[in-house]
Amino acid sequence: MKAIKVIKPFEVEIVEVEKPKIEKSTDVIVKITSGGICGSDMQIYNGTNSLATYPRIIGHEFGGIVVEVGEKVTSVKIGDKVAVDPVVSCGECYACKIGRHNVCSTLEVMGVHRDGGFSEFVKADEKNIHKFHTDFDESLLGLVEPYTIGMQINNRLQTTSKDKILIMGAGPIGIAALQVAKSRDAKVIITDIVKERLNKAKDMGADETVLVTEEDLKERLGKFTDGEGIPVIIDTVCTPSSFEESVQLACPAGRIVVIGLKNQPSNITMADITKKELTIVGSRLNCNCFDQVIEQFEKGKLNPEKLMTKAYNYKDIIEALTMIKEHPQDVLKVVLKFED
């Protein structure tokens, strides 16, 4: 079978590899129909992903149709449309035992730490396979994972309809978090430095948008909250200064979620947190969010087709990567279709 392999930074090839076989009784083999290209795939390609090793079959956003199942598999059957959760955990460590396997001490992500989903067939354990109950568009099956990131963020914040939320950054993660927050009837104000992205965010339900290069965010937040200050912040900009800004902007008793993986420090004091008794939480990957997202897709409460900027055949991976590299501001999600 064919697969997309990053041999080393800036060298990507369509290679011939062995098709996976059922080995364990809980194995499932999926014929991939769709994959989403993520910022972290771009980083693996560019050599800037500190977690990845080479050579690597990339892709952690993927889905398709079940073609083979091990003898003990009961939750899916041949022909089911599914999305595959790329998070692989041990089941034994503290985090796993308390039900937070997405931060397992020996966590591996398919497509990053081990081979991923940009290939014609993928094998995964039954527990990583999540099925659709309707005849969902095959080209969108790979977009469940990016929405699980948005779902996890909102789950960590326990977003409700009472919340007013500031989302910093209207890239794919900001947009996914926005759609999930809106599906819970929260009010959302979203920022970016690119006007087109904000137009897109507005189209996807943002109550207000702020072009931070031209407008005063603090003033707009004052109006948005009747002078109260913003109680919930999702920082998808993920720079040391955006974290500092979040802590400054949050109102007393506010909640902040951070998702960045950079290890440069931010200048935040204990008093900044204590005085306002802020709740600052991290959000990583997803913890059992696949079924929640699939349900919302099928109910039409989350609209992945709006996130998709363009689709390419997987054999045109170089063209797809080049497009993302050259037009980062126009791209939300580029999808690869795995067809001949």
- In the complex, which residues of this chain contact Zn ion (CB under 5 A)? 38, 89-90, 93, 96, 104
Q: How far is the CB of 53 from Zn ion (least distance, A)?
A: 18
Residue (69 or 88) nearer to Zn ion, CB: 88
Least distance to Zn ion, CB of residue 104, Å: 3
Of 89 and 139, which CB lies nearer to Zn ion in the complex structure?
Answer: 89
CA 265 to chain centroid: 24
Other beta carbons less than 10 A from residue 203's beta carbon: 10
User: Shortest gap between Cβ of 152 and Zn ion (angstroms)?
Assistant: 12
Q: How far is the CB of 259 from Zn ion (least distance, A)?
A: 11
Tell me whether residue 91 or residue 300 sits nearer to Zn ion (CB atom). 91
- C-alpha–C-alpha distance, residues 309 and 334, integer Å: 6
What's the min distance (Å) between Cβ of 276 and Zn ion? 32
Q: CA nearest 84: which of 23, 32, 6?
A: 32
Smaller CB separation from Zn ion, 65 or 90: 90
Residue with the two structure tokens 């993660």: 173
> Please, which residue, 119 or 209, has the CB nearer to Zn ion?
119
Q: Is beta strand 108-109 parallel, antiparallel or unpaired with respect to 87-88?
A: antiparallel
Task: Tell me the three state secondary structure of residue 166.
Answer: strand
Task: Point out which residues pair with 262 in neighbouring strands.
Answer: none
To Zn ion, the closest distance from the beta carbon of 334 in angstroms equals: 12
Q: Which helix (H) or strand (E) holds 268?
A: none
User: How far is it, in rounded angstroms, from Cα 19 to Cα 7?
Assistant: 19
Cβ proximity to Zn ion: between 104 and 250 the closer is 104
State which residue, 209 or 288, has the beta carbon closest to Zn ion. Answer: 288
Give CA–CA dist 168/156, Å, rounded: 17
Shortest distance (Å) from residue 249 CB to Zn ion: 27
CB nearer to Zn ion: give 42 or 93. 93
List the structure tokens of 156: 């960590």
Amino acid at 133: H
Q: Classify each residue of 246-265 as buried b or exposed e, where b means 16 or more C-beta atoms within 10 Å of its C-beta.
A: bbebbbeebbbbbbbeeeee
Inter-CA distances, 183 with 37, 123, 204, Å: 24, 32, 11
Burial 207-233 (b: 16+ CB within 10 A, else e): bbbbebeeeebeebbeebbeeebbbbb
Least distance in angstroms from the C-beta of 29 to Zn ion: 23
